[in-house]
Amino acid sequence: MRQIIVDKDRCTLCEICIPVCPFGALALVGDEIKVTESCNLCGACVPECPAEAIEVTGPAPEEVDLSGWHGIWVFAEQTDGRLAGVVLELLAEARRMAAVTGEEVSAVLAGEGTRDLQPELIAHGADRVYVAEDSVLASFRDETYVTVIASLVQHHQPSVILFGATARGRSLAPRLAARLGTGLTADCTELDVDETGLLIQTRPAFGGNIMATIVCRRHRPQMATVRPRILQADAPDYDREGEIVDVRVDGPALQVRTLLLEAVEEEQGIMIEDADIIVAGGRGLGGPEGFEILFDLAKTLGGAVGVSRPVVDAGWIPYIHQVGQTGKTVSPSIYIACGISGAVQHMAGMRSADTIIAINKNPDAPIFNVATYGLVGDLFQIIPNLKREITNARR
């Protein structure tokens, strides 16, 4: 087992190592430097110790033969015969990466009654579609999906597997990574790849205050979940040709420990990631009661309500409405930002909107720098007037 050891006989208690540790895992306790459970064995402290009192002990990580791992895979998430929008975005990104690495792009499609989706996946960039059709896969359960996909991965050895950062992707990808003994970067906002096939994954860290770039050098496959609406789907080419590979599913061999009795859809109105019009509010609304006028305006426009992170942190509105680096990325036709100052973390999640309308009483609010139209004034006066004008125009 590898661990960080501090030699008490050599250590001079200079404390130089303490601020060096990026995880705050070193502390002066009494007359010695202690290594806490926060240590992740990065070794940043070792070369900084002037007394050479710190060392990493234990066997070095095993070198894995990466030469046999090739190909970029996309998990083709579907529900009731409909592909998740993020799948098409991931296929476009996979094609871009394949142009750099020279690898093929494959989609993994699991479920029942999915035959009509195969041409769609090929048209959007898949060179090959692995199709696992079985009644045991009709309803999504991560334990059965993991078993099927893990078997495929172990047999074909893809270099990269991409998932959407959806509820299903976030449930499936970690379990699959653990089964395969590899790493996973969750909730990525940017992907890149070098000529050697090394996947460069970028995601928000430390509450969205920094962007971390992560690579998986020693293990394969390289796995990432990617936020919907971050990437752009390509137009389909229905003249593309691809290969369909039927995957044999041994139903009895799958460990199904749960039985789905009934699926009940919760009525939540229009989800912000699917909305064409979003009315978003920030701390300028003053409290949860202030959002009543936003929900009213959104209903009038046939849109959805979004919020900035401070609103969720304050407990005014549920997280499902949060827009930004630590929330959802949206790309509506119209985004109306009410009482939102425009922190970079929030604007990262909405700046791709076609038209941005900002309402704020502070004329110097950063949100006006990205706004298509700006209204300076009291939102509690402007929004009711806006709703009235919209209603009158529709008569």
141-153 residue pLDDT tens: 888 899 899 999 9
- Residue 268 clears pLDDT 60, i.e. is over it: no
Same domain, 196 and 162: yes
SS (H, E, C) the chain: CCEEEECCCCCCCCCCHHHHCCCCCEEEECCEEEECCCCCCCCCCCCCCCCCCEEEECCCCCCCCCCCCCCEEEECCEECCEECHHHHHHHHHHHHHHHHHCCCEEEEEEECCCHHHHHHHHHCCCCEEEEEECHHHCCCCHHHHHHHHHHHHHHHCCCEEEEECCHHHHHHHHHHHHHHCCCEEEEECEEEECCCCCEEEEEEECCCCEEEEECCCCCCCEEEEECCCCCCCCCCCCCCCCEEEEECCCHHHCCCCCCCCCCCCCCCCCCCCCCCEEEEECHHHCCHHHHHHHHHHHHHHCCEEEECHHHHHCCCCCHHHEECCCCECCCCCEEEEECCCCCHHHHCCCCCCCEEEEEECCCCCHHHHCCCEEEECCHHHHHHHHHHHHHHHCC
Confidence of residue 391 (pLDDT cuts 50, 70, 90): confident
Same domain, 329 and 242: no
Same domain, 121 and 162: yes
Same domain, 79 and 7: no
Same domain, 201 and 150: yes
| pTM, full prediction | 0.70
pLDDT at 248: 84
pLDDT at 253: 55
pLDDT, one tens digit per residue, over 282-323 is 999 999 999 999 999 999 999 999 999 999 999 999 988 999
Q: Is 234 among the domain residues?
A: yes
Q: What angle do CA 248, 252, 253 make, to 5 degrees?
A: 75
- Residue 100 clears pLDDT 80, i.e. is over it: yes
Q: Is 189 among the domain residues?
A: yes
What is the CATH number for 126? 3.40.50.620
Share of the chain above pLDDT 90, in %: 55
What is the CATH number for 309? 3.40.50.1220
pLDDT, one tens digit per residue, over 166-199 is 889 998 999 999 999 899 999 898 999 998 899 9
pLDDT at 144: 87
pLDDT at 58: 79
- Mean of pLDDT values over 68-74: 95
pLDDT, one tens digit per residue, over 118-140 is 999 999 999 999 999 888 888 88
- Residue 383 clears pLDDT 80, i.e. is over it: yes
pLDDT, one tens digit per residue, over 326-366 is 788 888 899 999 999 988 889 888 888 889 999 999 999 99
Q: Is 262 among the domain residues?
A: no
Q: Is 302 among the domain residues?
A: yes
Q: Is 39 among the domain residues?
A: yes
Q: Is 264 among the domain residues?
A: no
What is the CATH number for 49? 3.30.70.20
Same domain, 88 and 176: yes
Contacts of 146 (CB under 8 A, 6+ apart): 172, 175, 176, 179
Same domain, 50 and 136: no
pLDDT, one tens digit per residue, over 340-351 is 998 888 988 888
Confidence of residue 375 (pLDDT cuts 50, 70, 90): very high
Same domain, 346 and 388: yes
pLDDT, one tens digit per residue, over 223-254 is 999 988 888 899 999 999 999 999 887 765 56
Domain count, the chain: 3
Residue-number span of the structural domain to which 49 is assigned:
3-57
Same domain, 181 and 36: no
- Mean of pLDDT values over 34-57: 87
pLDDT at 40: 78
Same domain, 30 and 146: no
Same domain, 221 and 341: no
pLDDT at 392: 86
Same domain, 193 and 308: no
pLDDT at 6: 92
> Of 238, 253, 268, which one is at a domain's C-terminal end?
253
Q: Is 292 among the domain residues?
A: yes
Confidence of residue 266 (pLDDT cuts 50, 70, 90): low
Q: Is 161 among the domain residues?
A: yes
